[in-house]
Structure 1
Amino acid sequence: MSPRVVDPVARRQAVAEAVFRVVVRDGVEQASLRNVAVEAGLAIGSIRHYFDSHDDMIIFAVEALIHSIDERVMAHVQTLGDRTGDLRRPGERVLSEVLPLDDRRRDEAVLWLAFATAARTRPSLRPHAERLYDGLRQLCHRALTVMAANGTVGAIDVQLEAERLASLLNGLTVDGVLHPDRMTPELTVSLLRRHFDSLR
């Protein structure tokens, strides 16, 4: 009987998803090697086989989160130049991907907030938190640049407005995570839409 072949990429991804579930449910501080191993249905030695340390495992999970969000957002970015229908909607659609509007995006927002907060006291996480911070601003800048070019916003300082838009998105995300009964998906989208209307 030949030994079962384990796909290391799939195994590392499965561990990252176990980290996500633990963090969403219990917080970053509970995402120990032991707890993640239990969540993934693996022996702790299996986790150590793929990750040199607890920090290595958490960093891999953060990078997996960034990749997942980037992949989905980039699938919408190509619609930014779409000149059919309401030209504001592509920008709204792209930026809505980073807001907690459904279960998947809410979990991602919880993870983003948990990892960003943990990075304040864990230096190993800071570069990855900075990537999330910078990535949102770059996305806002790109969306506003296209919207300025197609005339769906007025004459704006794109750099400054990208910062303002990113700050709005951050606030909507935090409120949506901490007060989901008050900052509902419908209200969140209405506020984003109202912001775009104010730039015309």
Structure 2
Amino acid sequence: MPKVVDPSLRREAVVEALFSVVERDGLEQASLRNVAAEAGLALGSVRHYFDNHAELMVFAMKAMSERVANRLSAHFERLQGTDDRLEVAIDMLAEVLPLDAERRREVVVWLAFVNAARTHPSLRSHADEVYKDLITLATRIFEGGRRSGRLAPDVDVALEARRLCALLDGLSMDAILHPSQMDPETALAILRRHLTSLLVHSGR
């Protein structure tokens, strides 16, 4: 009897192979043929699930953002049941920083996707959507701080949400390009210092 293949598992394997190629060799090397070879599959097997390279890229980009979103959701549940909102907020935002091997890989791949989105309309809409989601996340964190009385009264939430996103982008880029200068401990210390500076009396 022919082997029964779970389509969702096969797509996941192809996406993981794509991530590996992008991390190791760059997005320009992530052709369907190279991804198939990385996954140990025939090119026709990959084409069975993805008609072309653009379709695979969009699917992989969405898979990456959903993976991070699931981790963020778990922190939101913690946020509802604690008075130590600062620590939970730091843990939550740390999910998008390259602080370990898994998150470093995600950031490397995501930066490649975002750079490609500049000239590929099929990727641009999703890249924009994820950026808006990050701003929404930052806004919700600051609004929660305001409701709890922890956020300094003169803080412009809309502006600070965008500044926080810019800070996260900068920390991620520095950590990838200059890891000896921006190690995980330094990145977390900068994030903590920034958030603490916006609190009432700058206290925890």
- Given the two structures, how large is their TM-score scaled by the length of structure 1? 0.96
1:145 Cα deviation from its structure 2 partner: 1.2
1:41 Cα deviation from its structure 2 partner: 0.2
For 1:14, the equivalent position in structure 2 comes to 13
1:108 Cα deviation from its structure 2 partner: 0.7
One-letter amino acid matched to 1:147: G
Structure 1 alignment gaps of length 5 or more: none
For 1:161, the equivalent position in structure 2 comes to 160
1:132 Cα deviation from its structure 2 partner: 2.0
For 2:195, the equivalent position in structure 1 comes to 196
For 2:202, the equivalent position in structure 1 comes to none
For 2:146, the equivalent position in structure 1 comes to 148
- Given the two structures, how large is their TM-score scaled by the length of structure 2? 0.94
One-letter amino acid matched to 1:148: R
Q: Per-residue CA shift, 1:72-126, capped at 9, x if unaligned?
A: 1111112223334x43111111111111111111111111111000111112110
One-letter amino acid matched to 2:148: N
Fraction of identical pairs, as percent: 51
The count of residues paired between Structure 1 and Structure 2 equals 198
Aligned mate of 1:122, from 120, 124, 136: 120
Q: Which runs of 4+ in 1 moved over 4 A?
A: none
1:135, 1:26 → 2: CA distance?
Answer: 29
Structure 2 alignment gaps of length 5 or more: 200-204
One-letter amino acid matched to 2:26: G
8 Å Cα contact 1:144-1:158 kept in structure 2? yes
Q: Per-residue CA shift, 1:130-182, capped at 9, x if unaligned?
A: 12211211111111111221122212221111011111111001111111111
Coordinate RMSD, CA, aligned = 1.1
1:30, 1:147 → 2: CA distance?
Answer: 44
